[in-house]
Structure 1
Amino acid sequence: MTKSRFNAFIATLLAAVSIAAAAPSAAAPSGARSAQDVVDSLQKNGYKVILNKIGTVPLGQCDVAVVRPGRAITAIDATGGVREEILSYTTAYVVARC
């Protein structure tokens, strides 16, 4: 993975972490984001989410406890005589408490 792709990944993940960290401290009337919202947002941005859910209620009623960066999964493209590493997808770990 190129350095610029890695930096973009970290920047996006840090944004997700800041959103997740702000959610529990938000006032109830302001519509704090649920764990489902955070998972949907990460998936919409191309992440494969690995979810660890604590509790039995639906994910939409859970709060986010932790968002951690996962591995970047790459593939090698050797067509045309040039070997290039291509980002397949990135992972993110989400812990939801219900």
Structure 2
Amino acid sequence: MKKLATTVGTIMAATALGLGTAATAVAAPSGVSSADQTLTELRADGYNVIVSRTGTGTIDKCSVTDVRPGQTYSRTDSGVPGHILGTPGPNIATTVMNKTAHVTLAC
């Protein structure tokens, strides 16, 4: 979630500066990346990406206008062997099952 928040902040800053494409903090914190690179990086980070786009241009002509975090689904299990959080107390582990990012493109 921290990477998504960082990415969102970077993209919003780039948009505010009037840059044509969005900057992503995931792989290229100081560079400007294409919409395709942004989508690829979010998917590589484990996000289920939902894309909304305006216009009929091809993906190479699109720019990212917004990235928003979506729902994150996690599971918490107790009694996990080898996962000790404290003594005494249950062994608890939380696993992120699915995380979503909403990306808006202008083409």
Q: TM > 0.5 between the two?
A: yes
Contact map agreement 1:16 1:42 (CA 8 A) in 2: no
Give the structure 1 partner of residue 42 of structure 2: 42
Structure 2 residues without counterparts, runs of 5 or longer = 22-30, 81-89
Q: Does 1:14 pair with 2:23? A: no
Give the structure 2 partner of residue 26 of structure 1: 19
With the length of structure 2 as denominator, give the TM-score of the two structures.
0.64
Dislocated runs of 4+, deviation >3 Å: 75-85
Aligned length: 87
> What's the CA shift for 1:56?
1.2
Larger Rg: 1 or 2?
A: 2
Alignment of 1:1-98 (within 5 A): 9=1, 11-21=2-12, 22=14, 25-26=18-19, 32-75=32-75, 77=77, 84-98=93-107
Report the secondary structure of 1:33's partner residue: coil
CA RMSD of aligned residues (A): 2.7
User: Quick one: percent identity of the two aligned structures?
Assistant: 28
Bigger proportion of residues as helix = 1
With the length of structure 1 as denominator, give the TM-score of the two structures.
0.68
